[in-house]
Amino acid sequence: MGKLLLQMVQATGTTLEVFFLTLLFALPLGILVAKGRMSKHKIVSGLVNIYIMIMRGTPLILQLIFVYFAPYYLFKASCDRFTAVIIAFVINYAAYFAEIYRGGIQSIPRGQYEASEMLGFSKTHTFVRIICPQVVKRIMPSLANEVITLVKDTALAQTIGVAELFRVAQNASARQFSTAPIFIAGLFYFIMNGIVSKAFDAIEKKLSYYN
């Protein structure tokens, strides 16, 4: 039992790596994608829209398999499993984050832009100092949802053979003819998401100094 728990804690390390690396790249990438989606250039916004449609319209598990195997069939070269997982998660989550950002950006009243324009702010200054801080506050609840889903989605990494928490639990379960390890894994996810929720609550509270 102690050995199993140790294994599971180690596997949780992999899960957390997938989780944090995905956030690290997908959160900023989402801004670029959102900007592209809102671009005035029809070609740019059209292409970005197709990308978002594919990412949201097909299963993540399929995208994982594609990212890992497609380069092999196309170029006879492939990246290692873990890198493939990160790439697949990042491009998938960036699409979802982008749509959340877009919703937030478009919910800011036009008057905020007009006031900025009248005060002589540059476009960049307006976006960074006036629009973004307000967007961040507005999108926190949706973002929390998405990040919580990410914690659970990390279990899909096992599809291409990355030994994360759920894979280790399943293996142990098969070895011991017992569902206990799987339920323990469930508890692990529950605790991780408890922390995520608390973190988002704290951020929301910090941002509640105005409404």
Nearest 5°: phi and psi at 108? -75, 125
Q: How far apart are CA 111 and CA 28, in angstroms?
A: 26
CA distance 209 to 211: 7
Task: Provide, rounded to whole angstroms, the least separation between the CB of residue 115 and another protein.
Answer: 4
- Asked whether position 80 contacts another protein by CB under 8 A, the answer is no
Q: Is 161 in the site for another protein (CB under 8 A)?
A: no
Taking CB under 8 A as the rule, does residue 121 contact another protein?
A: yes
Give the nearer residue to another protein in terms of CB position, either 60 or 136.
136
Nearest CA to 11 among 160, 171, 211?
171
- Single out the residue of 41, 56, 123, 129 in contact with another protein (rule: CB under 8 A): 129
Say if residue 27 is exposed, middle or buried (CB neighbours under 10 Å; 0-12, 13-18, 19+). Answer: middle
Place of tokens 């507005």: 138
Q: Is the dihedral of CA 67, 73, 79, 81 positive or negative?
A: positive
What burial letters (b/e) apply to 116-152, b meaning 16+ CB within 10 Å? beeeebeeeebbeebbbebbebbbbebbbebbbebbe
Which of positions 171-200 make contact with another protein (CB under 8 A)? Answer: none
Q: Of residues 6, 50, 70, 115, which one binds another protein by CB under 8 A?
A: 115
- Segment interacting with another protein, rule: CB under 8 A, options 88-96, 104-112, 170-178, 197-205: 104-112
Considering the rule CB under 8 A, would residue 83 count as an interface residue with another protein? no
Determine the interface stretch with another protein among 30-38, 76-84, 115-123, 172-180 (rule: CB under 8 A).
115-123
Smallest distance, Å, CB 138 to another protein?
11
Nearer to another protein, 60 or 130 (CB): 130
For another protein, which residue of 119, 182, 191, 195 counts as binding (CB under 8 A)? Answer: 119
Closest Cα partner for 160 from 70, 57, 29, 53?
Answer: 70
How is residue 38 annotated by DSSP?
T
* Shorter beta-carbon distance to another protein: residue 130 or 184: 130
- Contact call for residues 136 and 207 (beta carbons, < 8 A): yes
Q: How far is the CB of 133 from another protein (least distance, A)?
A: 5
> How many binding residues for another protein (CB under 8 A)?
19
Contact residues: another protein, CB under 8 A? 109, 111-112, 114-115, 117-121, 125, 129-130, 133-134, 137, 209-211
